[in-house]
Amino acid sequence: MPTDSQRLIVRPHAPRRTALVATFTVLGTLLGLALAFEAGRLRAGYSVVSAELERRELKGELAELRGELSASRAKQAAAEMARRVDKESYTQVEKSLADLESRLAEQSQELAFYRGIVNPTDGIAGLRIQRLQVLPGVAPHRFRVRIVLIQAARQDATTTATADLSIDGERGGRAVNLPLAEIGTAPKPLTFSFRYFQEIETEIQLPADFVPERVQVEVRPAKATAPLRETYPWKVEST
């Protein structure tokens, strides 16, 4: 018969149950901690649901602000485009107006020119010098002299005449007159025939040390004894 010190104690061995118990214990502990954390946040005024709702609300407001910003940029671009179009249109209108005024001025000059032919202001009929222009030439000290002649008061006959010119000025401190025969590229009197008006042009080359002051023009009609003479100040016009 065994003694007390020799008594055998048999304990059941169940490792799976032990593992399950340990797992549930850990899960329970974590759940308890989570609940305690959430309870603490609730006591502090924090709510997951409220935070999610607020996040969604802020997201909606952000999307709305982005939409407003995009619309504002589109309006700004449209306004800038409209401003450019208005500026271009205004510039075009100004240019068209300037062109129209220029054409009207030219037509007024032409009308005055033809009126001078048909009905001269001084009432004197016959041949006259209407205009003289000095224009720049293609080289230094070279010029084009343009003379416009008219025959006023409805002349039916053709007029034949010659035109000659000379330039008064200063050269070497002295007054000098240079005739067309010396300065003209075609040094001959200009011969022409016309009924109402005639535009003639000749080219001259002045000496480099000559300072022009006046242009003397002489027109000699073939059927008149007295020539027509006019003096014009030297003034070079732009082309």
More confident: 162 or 154: 162
- Using the Cα atoms of residue 99, residue 102, residue 107 and residue 108 in order, give the sign of their dihedral: positive
The better pLDDT of the pair 155, 25 is held by: 25
Domain spans, the chain: 46-118, 126-233
What is the reported pLDDT for 224?
67
Residue range 118-150, pLDDT digits in tens: 666 655 667 888 889 999 999 999 999 999 888
pLDDT-wise least confident of 19-33, 104-118, 193-207: 19-33
**Which band of pLDDT confidence, cut at 50, 70 and 90, is reported for residue 75?**
confident
Residue-level pLDDT at 159: 81
Q: How far apart are alpha carbons 113 and 125 in whole angstroms?
A: 15
Residue 48 pLDDT: 63
Identify the pLDDT of residue 36: 63
Pick the CATH number of 126-233 from 3.40.190.10, 3.90.180.10, 2.40.40.20, 2.60.40.10: 2.60.40.10
- The separation between CA 224 and the C-alpha centre of its own chain, rounded to angstroms, equals 57
Cβ-proximal residues to 154 (8 Å cutoff; 6+ apart), any chain? 118
Write a three-state SS string for the chain. Answer: CCCHHHCCCCCCCCHHHHHHHHHHHHHHHHHHHHHHHHHHHHHCCCCHHHHHHHHHHHHHHHHHHHHHHHHHHHHHHHHHHHHHHHHHHHHHHHHHHHHHHHHHHHHHHHHHHHHHHHCCCCCCCEEEEEEEEEEECCCCCEEEEEEEEEEECCCCCCEEEEEEEEEEEEECCEEEEEEHHHHECCCCCEEEEECCEEEEEEEEECCCCEEEEEEEEEEEECCCCCCEEEEEECCECCC
- The tens digit of pLDDT for each residue in 194-225 reads 877 888 899 999 999 999 999 999 998 887 66
Residues above pLDDT 90, as percent of the chain: 25
d(CA 156, CA 150): 13
